[in-house]
Amino acid sequence: MKISFQQSRIKWVLFAVGFIVIILFLVQLNSIVSALQKEEQRKVKLWATSVVRKAELVAKTEEFFDRVTDEEKTKLQQFITAHKKLMTLPLDSEINNIYNQYITELKNIPVIITDDQNQIQIYQNIIIPPEKEFVDSSGIFKSFLYNDPLEYETYGMKFRLYYMESEIYSNLRKVLNDFIESFLTEVTQNSVFVPVIITDSNRTDIIAYGNIDKNLISKQNLQTTIEQMENANTPIPIVLPGNQNAVIFYEKSSFVRRLQYYPIVYLGIVLLFGFGVFLLFRTMKRSEQDTIWVSMSKETAHQLGTPISSLNAWIACLAQDEKNKEICNELEKDVNRLTTITQRFSKIGSNPVLERQNIVSLIEETTNYLANRMSKNVKFDMRLPKTPVYTCLNRHLFEWTLENICKNAIDAMSGVGIITLELGCEDRKLYLDITDTGKGIAKRDFKKIFQPGFTTKSRGWGLGLSLAKRIIKDYHRGRIFVKESQQNKGTTFRIVLKKA
C-alpha cells in the first residue's frame, strides 16, 4: 500500500498556507510593536527635553534665590553701619534722624543686637516672648541661631547682630525646596514609566532613582546598570541647585522591553501548540491503525483456524497408507508452519509472554526453515557464537521479525545474493546485524521504511518492517534500525535486545 501522492501534496499545501498565515501575522505584530517602540521613543525624547528645560528653570530659580540672599545680607550690613553712626552722632542731629529712620523702616528682617555679654541692646521686627523655652543657654532666641551672628565693634564696644530670614526669603526657600523636590520626583517617577537613575557627575553617588529594581542599583550592580542604560540612550547632563552637576541615565520601559520578545514568545507558543496537535493526530492515527491491524490479525487467525483443522484431518487420513508417509511428513511441517503463523496473528494486540530463550538456536532454526524453501541462489552466512546466548523473547513473534527482514532482503537482492547474520554481545546488550547484498536504501528513507504503508515494491503492503518494529520496540523493549546502507551494495539492519 503506497502513500497517496495527492494526499501528501495536499498536506504540504495546507502546511505552507498555515506557515504563510503565521508569518504574515508575526510581520503585522512586529510592525505594531515597532510603532509602539517609536511612539515611546518620541515620548521619551519629549520627556528628556522637558527634564533639561526644567533643570534650567530650577537653576534660574536658585540664581534668583541667591540674589535675594545677597540683597538681605547687604541690608544687614547697611543696618550695622546705621547702628554705628547712631552711636557716634548727637541724638538731635539731622543725620542721626536719617539713620534712625532707615533702621526703623527696615521691617522685613527680624534682628537682635546684643553686647558681648549677649545682653539685648536693640531688637526689631520681632516680639520677644517672656517664656524661657524659646531662649537657649546664651539667652538668645533659638530661632535666631540658624544663622551665624555678624560681629562688629564701635567705640570699643563689641556687638553681635542676630538675624532671621525675612518672610519673603523664607517663602522663596520653601518654594525652591518644593520645586526641587517635585522636579526630582517628576524625573524619577515619570509618566512614561521609564527606568531612571540620577547620579553625580562622577557617576558614583545616586541622587535619585525611579521605576527600577533596587538590586540593580546596589553598589555591586550600579556601574553595570549605568553602562547598560548608557548603551541604550545617551545620558542627559543637568545642573541641580547649588551648581551641582548631575547626569540622568534612562532606558526603555519594561512594557516595551516585554513587547520586543512578544513575537518570539507567540511564535514559540504557536510552534508548541502545532507540535502538540501534530502529536495528537499522529497518536490518533496510530491508534486507529493499531485497531485495524489488531482486528485484521485476529480475524486472519480466526479464519485460518478452520482450514488448518481440516488439513490435520486429511493428513491423518493419508497417513494410514504407508505410501503417503513422506508426503504426510512434509504436509505436517507446512501445517505446523500455518499454525505458527496463526499464533503470531493471534498475539497482535495482546501482551505476549516473554520467555528466556537461546537466541542462537532460534536464529539457526528460522534461517534453516527459510533456506529450505527459498531459492538456492540465496546463501545464508551465519556468524553466531558457539555457546548459547540468552534473552527474553516471544518465540513466535521474534521468528516473524527475522522472516520479514530476511524476505525483504531476498526481494532487495532479486533472489540472488548473500544474507549475513552476525550476533554480538556488549555489556548487558546483544546486537543482531542482518546484512544483505541488495540494491540498498536511500538515506532519506531510513526512518520511513518503518512507517505503516511505506513500500518501494509495486505489489507491497508496507507492513512487514512496521510490524517488525512494533514487535521489537513495543513487545521486547528493544531497538531496530538501519545501521548502514549503500546504493547497489547492500543494507544492514540492527536489532538490539537485553541479555537475560
146-161 residue pLDDT tens: 778 888 887 778 888 8
Residue with cell 516473524: 400
Residue 381 pLDDT? 93
Residue 251 pLDDT? 82
CA distance 262 to 438: 53
Q: φ, ψ for residue 445 (rounded to 5)?
A: -105, 10
Residue 313 pLDDT? 79
| Under 8 Å between Cβ of 375 and 404 | no
Angle of CA points 398, 445, 431, to nearest 5°: 35
Residue 299 pLDDT? 64
Residue 91 pLDDT? 58
User: Strand 429-435 vs strand 236-240: parallel, antiparallel, or unpaired?
Assistant: unpaired
Q: Is 84 exposed, middle or buried (0-12, 13-18, 19+ CB in 10 A)?
A: middle
Domains in the chain: ranges and CATH: 5-168 (no CATH), 188-253 (no CATH), 351-498 (3.30.565.10)
In the 3-class helix/strand/coil scheme, how is the chain assigned residue by residue? CCCCHHHHHHHHHHHHHHHHHHHHHHHHHHHHHHHHHHHHHHHHHHHHHHHHHHHHHHHHHHHHHHHHHHHHHHHHHHHHHHHHHHHHCCCCCHHHHHHHHHHHHCCCCCEEEEECCCCEEEEECCCCCCCHHHECCCCCEHHHHHCCCEEEEECCEEEEEEECCCHHHHHHHHHHHHHHHHHHHHHHCCCCCCCEEEEECCCCCEEEEECCCHHHHCCCCHHHHHHHHHHHCCCEEEEECCCEEEEEEECCCHHHHHHHHHHHHHHHHHHHHHHHHHHHHHHHHHHHHHHHHHHHHHHHHHHHHHHHHHHHHHHHHHCCCHHHHHHHHHHHHHHHHHHHHHHHHHHCCCCCCCEEEEHHHHHHHHHHHHHHHCCCCEEEEEECCCCCCEEEECHHHHHHHHHHHHHHHHHHCCCCEEEEEEEEEECCEEEEEEECCCCCCCHHHCCHHHCCCCCCCCCCCCCHHHHHHHHHHHHCCCEEEEEEEECCCEEEEEEEEEEC
**Regions of the chain with pLDDT less than 50:** 1-4, 132-134
Residue 109 pLDDT? 78
Residue with cell 516595551: 256
Q: φ, ψ for residue 300 (rounded to 5)?
A: -65, -45
Q: φ, ψ for residue 194 (rounded to 5)?
A: -85, 130
pLDDT tens for each residue of 325-334 = 788 887 887 7
Residue 3 pLDDT? 44
Sequence-separated (6 or more) residues with CB below 8 Å from residue 370: 380, 403, 406, 407
Residue 380 pLDDT? 92
Residue 2 pLDDT? 42
Residue 96 pLDDT? 62
Q: Cα dist. 202→85, 221, 287 in Å?
A: 51, 16, 70
User: Strand 244-250 vs strand 390-393: parallel, antiparallel, or unpaired?
Assistant: unpaired
Residue 131 pLDDT? 55
